Amino acid sequence: MESIVGKTIIITGGASGIGLGIAEALITEGANLVLTSRRGELLVEQAAQLSAKGPGSAIAIAADVRSKADVQRVAQGAIDHFGGIDGLINNSGLGVQDSIEDCPEENWDLVMDTCAKGTFLMTQAVLPTLRQQQSGHIINVASQAAKNGYANAGPYCAAKFAVLGFAAALQEEVRQHGIKVHSLCPGLVQVPKPTHSADEMAGWLQVEDMANAVLYVLKQPKRVFLENIGLYGF
């Protein structure tokens, strides 16, 4: 298995929930992290706590993944602080509870811009560095909504379907540069993480399940490429 000790990995939506859970797992394995989110104060607090745990180190860069200037600042911040970029976890996302008929245009734009455009912009920002070093990982946190339709979740389904298509096309473009592109397609994930195991909801995934899946992908030998991984509560 490959080691991620000393690798620099950007995690979007890293201030809480799934993103924070992934960050906790990666820093324990010795990775250096760039956490980004719009929640600046919480982001700084979480990065400090993660760094204190180590053995990796974490920094916080507040940003909106819908903004090209913001994501470029995140990528440059990773290079300036850690000297490079080895991986990107596209985790930022949100949904709305609207039927297609009643969905306001601004809700459609919010979901599409965060989930799909944000993934595109963030990926575009890190690709020059990954291509130059001829290695790297891009992991998208998609959803079962990327493969199945759900009532009153049209914008979210559309955005996550787009992420899978985007990732498939991207993989064909960057394969020759040693860059791997993966997407995780989880079912329901219990967020926030329950304090006690007795409070875990039956049939739901836990945040650490997502973190373990990311670690599994990152630590595969260079010769191994995995298809999109579906995760379900049992």
The per-residue pLDDT for range 129-168, each reduced to its tens digit, is 999 999 999 999 999 999 999 999 999 999 999 999 999 9
Catalytic residue, chosen from 150, 156, 216, 232, is 156
Average pLDDT, the chain: 97
Would the pLDDT of 205 be above 90? Answer: yes
pTM for this model (two decimals): 0.96
User: For 28-52, what is the mean pLDDT?
Assistant: 97
DSSP string, the chain: ----TT-EEEEETTTSHHHHHHHHHHHHTT-EEEEE-S-HHHHHHHHHHHHHH-SS-EEE----TT-HHHHHHHHHHHHHHHS---EEEE-------B-TTT--HHHHHHHHIIIIIHHHHHHHHHHHHHHHHT-EEEEEE--GGGTS--TTBHHHHHHHHHHHHHHHHHHHHHGGGTEEEEEEEE--EESSPPSSGGGPPTT-EEHHHHHHHHHHHHTS-TT---PPEEE---
Predicted confidence at residue 197, as pLDDT, reads 86
User: For 183-202, what is the mean pLDDT?
Assistant: 93
Predicted confidence at residue 102, as pLDDT, reads 97
Give the chain's end-to-end CA distance (angstroms, integer): 27
Would the pLDDT of 65 be above 90? Answer: yes
The per-residue pLDDT for range 211-232, each reduced to its tens digit, is 999 999 999 999 999 999 999 9
- Answer yes or no: 150 catalytic: no
Would the pLDDT of 195 be above 90? Answer: no
Predicted confidence at residue 193, as pLDDT, reads 87
Residues of the chain above pLDDT 70, percent: 100
CB atoms within 10 A of CB 129: 18
